[in-house]
Structure 1
Amino acid sequence: MAVQATVAMGILGAAPAYAGESATLISADSQRCLDIARGSQEPRTPAIIFDCHGGANQQWEFTAAGELRTFDGARCLDIRGASTQPQAVVQSYPCHGGANQKWTLRPDRTIINPASGLCLTVKGGETANATGIDTWRCEATAHQQWIVGDTEPPPDDTEAPTPPSGLAISALTCRSATLKWEASTDNVGVAYYDIYRDGQALGTVNASTLTAQLALTAGASWGIYVNARDAAGNVSQASTSLQVQVPQCQADTQPPSVPTGLRGTVAGTTVTLNWTASTDNVAVTAYDIYRNSIAVGASGTLGYTDTGLSANTTYQYAVAARDAQGNVSPRSAAVSLTSGNACTDVICSTARVAQDTDIPWGLVALPNGTVLYSRRDAKDIIALNPATGAKKNLGVIPNVQGTDGEGGLLGLAIAPGFPASNPWLYIYHTSPTDNRIVRVRYVNGTLDMASLEVLLKGIGRNKYHNGGRLRFGPDGKLYATTGDAQNGAYAQDVNHLSGKVLRLNANGTPPPDNPFGNYVWSYGHRNPQGLAFDSLGRLWEQEFGDSQDETNLIVKGGNYGWPNCEGVISRSGTGCATTGYIAPKYTYRNTEASCSGIAVVRNSLYVACLLGKRLYRSEISGDRLVNVRQFFVGTYDRLRTVEPTIDGNLWMTNSDAAGDKDSIPNNTDTAIYKVTLKP
């Protein structure tokens, strides 16, 4: 079941005003203060901007309930008539807790009313004394930005806060819980705490708030952590994750009824199954599919397609139903089906060539058929002979450090001409201080660790959002994906290495034809992890989102919108309608995706997905992706990496949930598969 959680806090992203204290709100455009006209406490007195004087009618307190109070808490900032339309008058009014009195101060310094989705705005962009305040769509322009008291950071503040600590859950029920933590410290002052669940943003609270109310989904299992952020935008490393198992709301021990009517059709080496629905006292959530008594997949519908079977082979299938609490029905009556003598679908067969106890992350196929792959948490490189399954450990890469999340030893690449003219293995990894790209010579089947060179350092790191894929292009340049290090502002800063696709010369220098005079090739990315070139030399990229994943076609200097736009969802400012933002070529709900690696073989794009536990295949038609299909849904658990083989097929790696979200080596059960494609 997909895990859902929200931070049920009144204020998301408030600046560092301490609990019980108030501060002025200064318009960034005029430097005048948010003011209640004439200092009047009469209900419906309009809000204006006025020269700052520090009076009670210019002192504002963000409360935990989400109100913006003035006059020592006696009045609330209110939208007249509870209007949700633009240009509504903003006024003071006795506090009543209504939606028209709730305000959220966001990291871009806009103050939004969540009920209307509109921002607190100085009318007409004027700067004169006594200009009124109304609501307007959020554009993050200067007349919508507010400075809280004297919280402007020093211009040279680059020091991040310390990580939050001491996370604890209390009042845990099937629907809610209270999260608490201990404060971070900062050289200037902590402004915000950003709350995450397994890499997904839940919300932001102000620095005076060390608790959050979480809305939960019964039965969910997840890890929560907190980052601290200061007013200059510096983000701490994450706290240690707190693992929480949400209880069920009521006991349920009754399994669903047995599925009936199982039937199937055969087309070459592909079997398609259908069956009649089961019933349950609460609800059926999924069906597990068994092939020869072994679970090979799951389906949320009444059908399943099993691909890549051996030719001329008889298989027995059965199906069982399960509910949200893990009650499983007896299996259905079995049906026997015999595959054909030739492959008729795009995927012909799948064979496991190796198993591992760590996470295979980066993978390259050498010209002689050897496969090299990185083990993320074990921090070493393995040479695999696919013909025999024999493996050789080539050694631990120095200075690699995990993040108690998704950092570690990540992407690999070899250059055209390997090994004769360029014997280097290129590596992306997390260090104690950053993410970086290094290279080491591959000599006679070994790694010459003495030759290791750091090509690029200073890429932001955090528990999640580290990026990490490497790919040489047909131009001989090295391309790399970098995550935003859980700081969305980095993604829009073309002078920062994070939240980007980077482009390097093979020796690590920036090519002179890069668009911004540095390493940045494209920007506005959240956590990209897939790179692949098509037959026309165009670069495709796969990117994790909060709620939508993206497949993008990367162009030189392109801006892909994060954090203002995610997929086709506007998040801040003018969102996805912003001039110059490049829309994705395909989007996916992340419950069916959370995709990492991609590969292009014979003009088809293959996308390996973790949470979705499936492989997407689409055909590249011009600049579009068409005929999108899903394979191996639930068959091989979480899929992480796909790479072309030297004979025109696919290597595919998986990653099980047990060790996927930590940095503990050798605590997982994974494999490398060869997927044979139809010629």
Structure 2
Amino acid sequence: MFPSSSRRCVLAAVIAAVAAVAVVVPAATGASGFTVTGVASGRCLDVVGNSTAAKTRVNIYDCNGQANQAWTFTAAGELRVYDGAMCLDVAHASTTSPADAQIYTCNGGANQKWRINADGTITGGQSGLCLDVTGAATANSTLVGMYTCTGGGNQKWRTTLGDTQPPSVPGDPRVSDLVCDAVTFAWNASTDNVGVAFYDVYHDGQLMKSVSGSTLSTSLTVVGGVTWGLYVNARDAAGNVSQASTTVPITPPQCQPDDQAPTAPTNLTGAASGTTVTLDWAAATDNIGVRAYDVYRGGVKVGAVTGTATAPPATTFVDSGLAANTSYEYSVVARDAQANVSPPSATTTVTTGAACGDSVCAVTQIAADTDIPWGLVTLPDGTILYTRRDAHDIVHLNPATGAKTSVGTVPGVDNTDGEGGLLGLAVSPGFAADHWLYLMHTSPSDNRIVRIKLADGQLDTASEQVLLSGLLRNKFHNGGRLRFGPDGKLYATTGDAQNGDNAQNKASLNGKVLRLNPDGSVPADNPFGTYVWSYGHRNPQGLAFDSQGRLWEQEFGNSVMDETNLITKGGNYGWPACEGTSGTCSTAGFIAPKRTYSTAEGSCSGIAIVRDVLYVACERGTRMYREVISGSDLTDVQAYFNGTYGRLRTVEPAPDGGLWLTTTNNGDKDSIPDNSNEKIFHVTLGGASVARTAAPVRSR
């Protein structure tokens, strides 16, 4: 068993609702047999202390893949453990409630016969009593016994029974009865070798609800005027999840027709600090509500401040990276949810100072691309390589001249009609001598990590080595970031493949931060003897190391909170029971995030650390956060480029002390190659060298 450590308290309502009906941990590797997992606790049926002695009690404990949690179900109805050496046994052959459950030498007795029932209960063949977690507790080491069946979650179990085959893809997803706040979503049944237990309905990677395996349509709550992509996965009782159905886009009508524009914002003022301008204004009014403000500089839109249906947008905006000693004219307009636009505010003119006095000094576009730049690295000569997610090739970019050349297509990459494809990229620490590039990508059957040599400016595809395969894939939640650490090891993020139970199962490599030797072998000092470095993650995509060699991670939440984590060896970060820090959580051992973000202001992917300042690139939040690392905390948080460049995907350190920054605005969720219009920027930071070897392609 593994001891518990620090605590994180969180509970997202939608996740709790799903976890309550479907906590499943797939069969462990390294010990023959299957796991028996408590629905209420998410913990495994476990022989206390790893003891093989007769009359040892059983309890629940964190699933860890050891032999004392590996059960087999025999044709005689026995539940055997320790490779069949001992049987689950009702002490003293008792048939009265309560009674102790223990292990004992297998003897064929009626008190060693069990029934695994369709409703999730496990009942004694002799007594008819239910296998029960004492007191309905969920904590590690809670004893398990026999009790009168009550239908409680502490008497519900999930068993893998050796089933590793996922259901087929649900067919023909379709919608009907679309109105402003609801839609009916339907699909054709999946098939499974054992049976479909649940269907999980998503929009754009966010779980909306789960329904039973006999349900083929459901009513969903939607938001008027907001475009979503709906799809469904099938899940069996063993926790195997199908690939997702095709996506059905919907845009519900507004619930209240509105053709009245907001009033113009008033009292616009601006103040300069070096080359940064801060604007403030008085709120506009609207008959229904102001949803956003668009900020114009010299008549050109340079940013936006957005709100939600329940929270109005802020009335301030920071414009950074401007030229010194230059006057800029600003105006602001208001928008409502139906795109009615107000007249512009009165203009205000602000003159910047003589030099950069802020953290961000200049932004320079160095390239554009018709596909989505995902992984990005700097080569030893200062030039750039980046992956194109949907087109599957790697581009070499000279940031001084803007010259681009494709160095080749990575073989075996497959899209997912979502966010899979050619993802992370890392350069070997010994690249000058070995020429290895490390890549993470989706294949037709899995996600995998490979390495390929870059020889004479081209990929040598004949040199490809598959270092790690078999990572589960799905439409969304594929993770994909790669980063070499100061220890010379390769770190990788993996998503939960749209099955949160993977994240808590240490025998699974999904929902994890992984750690590999450069040759793909498992480092001897990894905490669990596998590639797993930390677990309990949903869809992590950002990795960066600070000056102390500590690993920071950025992670997508479901619908409540995104999070930035400081990763510790063997740490459990709580998903799916916990999302961010919302609510309370009694589970010991969960590690709290260092910062959380609402999904509307976050949905952040890449992170970079420069001089112990963390930079976070956000998609839905359309901004870059700057956060100072102080001890183990993130302080002095500032937001830049709020709506200026749209959705931001990747941020990486540049060799001059600045940043590379990429957008992900078009075609982000459809896997169609070359249907984007993305930008790659250089961001000059305060205090960083601004020397450039040649003129930029275009400057702000």
Normalised to the residue count of structure 1, the TM-score between the two structures is 0.80
* Counterpart Cα distance in 1 of 2:410 and 2:448: 12
Name stretches of at least 5 consecutive residues in structure 2 with no aligned partner: 1-12, 24-37, 46-57, 60-72, 74-96, 100-109, 111-116, 121-131, 306-312, 688-700
Residue 358 of structure 1: how far off its partner (Å): 0.7
Structure 1 position 314, deviation (Å)? 2.0
Q: Secondary structure at the match of 1:419?
A: helix
Q: CA deviation at 1:606?
A: 0.4
Matching residue's letter, 1:429:
H
SS of 2:507 mapped into structure 1: coil
Q: Does residue 580 of the first structure (1) align with residue 589 of the second (2)?
A: yes
Partner Cα separation in structure 2 for residue 128 and residue 14 of structure 1: 22
Q: Within 5 A, what are the aligned runs for 1:554-569?
A: 554-569=567-582
- The one-letter code of the counterpart of 1:637 is G
Aligned with residue 256 of structure 2, among 247, 250, 254? 250
Q: Which amino acid aligns with 2:155?
A: Q
Structure 1: 5+ residue stretches without partners: 16-24, 32-47, 53-58, 63-108, 111-117
Q: Decide which of 393, 403, 408 is 2:416's aligned counterpart.
A: 403
**Distance 1:171-1:26 versus aligned 2 partners, 3 A rule:** closer
**Mapped pair 1:340 → 2:353:** yes
Provide Cα deviations, 1:494-525, integer angstroms capped at 9, x if missing partner. Answer: 12111111111111111111111111111111
Structure 2: which amino acid aligns with 1:362?
G
Cα distance in 1, alignment partners of residues 450 and 118 from structure 2: 51
- 2:435 partner amino acid: P
Match of 1:424 among 429, 436, 441: 436
Which of 364, 382, 402 is matched with 1:369 structurally? 382
Structure 2 Cα separation of the partners of residues 402 and 566 of structure 1: 28
CA distance in 2, matches of 1:309, 1:630: 16
Looking at structure 1, the residues matched to 207 and 144 of structure 2 have their Cα atoms a distance apart, in angstroms, of: 35
Tell me the amino acid that sits aligned with residue 674 of structure 2: N
Q: Which residues in structure 2 correspond to 1:650-661 (within 5 Å)?
A: 650-656=659-665, 658-661=666-669
Answer yes or no: is 1:550 the counterpart of 2:558.
Answer: no
1:385 corresponds in structure 2 to 398
Aligned residue among 369, 376, 382 for 1:356: 369
Structure 2 distance, partners of 1:10, 1:636, is 36
Answer yes or no: is 1:539 the counterpart of 2:548. no
How far the C-alpha of 1:432 sits from its partner, in A, is 0.4
After TM superposition, give the deviation of residue 133 of structure 1 in Å. Answer: 4.4
Q: Which residue of 1 aligns with 2:445?
A: 433
> How big is each residue's C-alpha offset from its partner over 1:56-80, in whole Å with a ceiling of 9 and x where there is no partner?
xxx9999xxxxxxxxxxxxxxxxxx
1:286 corresponds to: 292
Distance 2:39 2:422 in 1: 46
* Cα 1:154–1:616 shift into 2, 3 Å: closer
Q: Structure 1 residue 449 and structure 2 residue 455: aligned?
A: no
Partner of 1:638 in structure 2?
A: 647
> Does the aligned pair in 2 maintain the 1:153–1:231 contact within 8 Å?
yes
**How has the CA–CA distance of structure 1 residues 450 and 623 changed in structure 2, closer, same or farther, with 3 Å as cutoff?**
same
- What corresponds to 1:496 in structure 2? 508
Residue 298 of structure 1, CA deviation: 0.9
Gap change, CA 1:233 and 1:11, over 3 Å in 2? closer
Rounded to whole Å, the distance in 1 between the matches of 2:22 and 2:182 is 23
* 1:83-122 correspondence to structure 2 within 5 Å: none
Larger relative CO (CA 8 A, sep 6+): 1 or 2? 2
The verdict on how the C-alpha distance between 1:49 and 1:211 changes in structure 2, with shifts beyond 3 A counting, is farther
CA contact (8 A) 2:393 2:409 kept: yes
Identity %: 57
Cross-structure match for 2:325: 312
| Aligned residue identity for 1:673 | F
In structure 2, which of residues 598, 604, 607 is the aligned counterpart of residue 595 of structure 1?
604
The code of the aligned residue for 2:552 comes to W
Could you tell me which residue of structure 2 aligns to residue 625 of structure 1? 634
- Give the count of matched residue pairs: 576
Match of residue 608, structure 1, among 609, 614, 617: 617
Aligned counterparts, 1:17-96, within 5 A:
none
SS of aligned partner of 2:244:
coil
Aligned equivalents of 2:545, 2:377: Cα separation in 1: 15
Distance 1:468 1:338, change over 3 A: same
Change (3 A) 1:510 1:224: same
Displacement after TM superposition at 1:442 (Å): 1.5
Distance 1:237 1:672, change over 3 A: same
Contact 2:18 2:209 in 1 (8 A): no
Partner of 1:100: none
Amino acid of the structure 2 residue aligned with 1:145: Q
Deviation of 1:488 (Å): 1.0
Any conservation in 2 of the 1:153–1:188 contact (CA below 8 Å)?
no
**Corresponding residue of 1:165:** 171
Secondary structure of 1:512's match?
A: coil
Aligned to 1:145: 155
CA–CA separation in structure 2 for the residues paired with 1:12 and 1:170: 29
**Cα separation, partners in 2 of 1:565 and 1:167, compared to 1, 3 Å:** same
Using the alignment, how far apart are the partners of 1:375 and 1:282 within structure 2?
Answer: 42
Query: What's the C-alpha RMSD, in Å, of the aligned pairs?
Result: 3.3
Cα distance in 2 for residues equivalent to 1:26 and 1:376: 38
Q: How far is the alpha carbon of 1:585 from its aligned partner?
A: 0.9
Aligned to 1:414: 427
Partner of 1:670: 678
Task: Tell whether the 8 Å contact from 1:494 to 1:520 is kept in structure 2 after alignment.
Answer: yes
For 1:206 and 1:119, locate their aligned partners in 2 and report how far apart those are by CA, in whole Å.
Answer: 26
Are 1:235 and 2:244 counterparts?
A: no
Match of 1:105 in 2: none
Secondary structure at 1:673 match in 2: strand
Q: State the match for 2:485 in structure 1.
A: 473
Q: 1:11 to 1:520 in 2, by over 3 A?
A: closer
Using the TM superposition, give the Cα deviation of residue 145 of structure 1 relative to its aligned residue in structure 2, in angstroms: 3.2
Partner of 1:55: none
Matches of 2:487 and 2:612, distance apart in 1: 19
Q: Judging changes above 3 Å, is the alpha-carbon distance between structure 1 residues 401 and 290 closer, same or farther for their aligned structure 2 residues?
A: same
- Distance (whole Å) between structure 2 residues aligned to residue 610 and residue 145 of structure 1: 42
Partner residue in 1 for 2:32 = none
Cα distance between partner residues in 1 of 2:614 and 2:549: 14
Native 8 Å contact 2:533 2:570 kept in 1:
yes
* Compared CA separation, residues 480 and 438, structure 1 to 2 (3 A): same
Letter in 2 for 1:635: T
| Partners of 2:204 and 2:39 in 1: CA distance | 36
Q: Is contact 1:424–1:440 with CA below 8 Å preserved after alignment?
A: yes
Residue 664 of structure 1 aligns with an amino acid whose one-letter code is I
Please state whether the residue corresponding to 2:501 is helix, strand or coil: helix
Write the distance in 2 (CA, Å) between the matches of 1:60 and 1:402: 36
Supply the distance in 2 between the matched residues of 1:189 and 1:585 (Cα, whole angstroms): 41
For 1:512, which of 515, 524, 530 is the aligned residue? 524
Please state how far the C-alpha of 1:355 moved relative to its aligned partner. Answer: 0.6
Kept after mapping to 1: 8 A contact 2:22/2:39: no
In the alignment, structure 1 residue 647 sits paired with structure 2 residue 656: yes
1:487 is matched with which residue: 487, 495, 499? 499
- 2:196 aligns with 190
Spell out, residue by residue over 1:474-494, the C-alpha distance to the aligned partner (whole angstroms, 9 max, x if none). Answer: 011100000010111111111
Q: Deviations over 1:17-50 (max 9, x none)?
A: xxxxxxxx9999999xxxxxxxxxxxxxxxx999
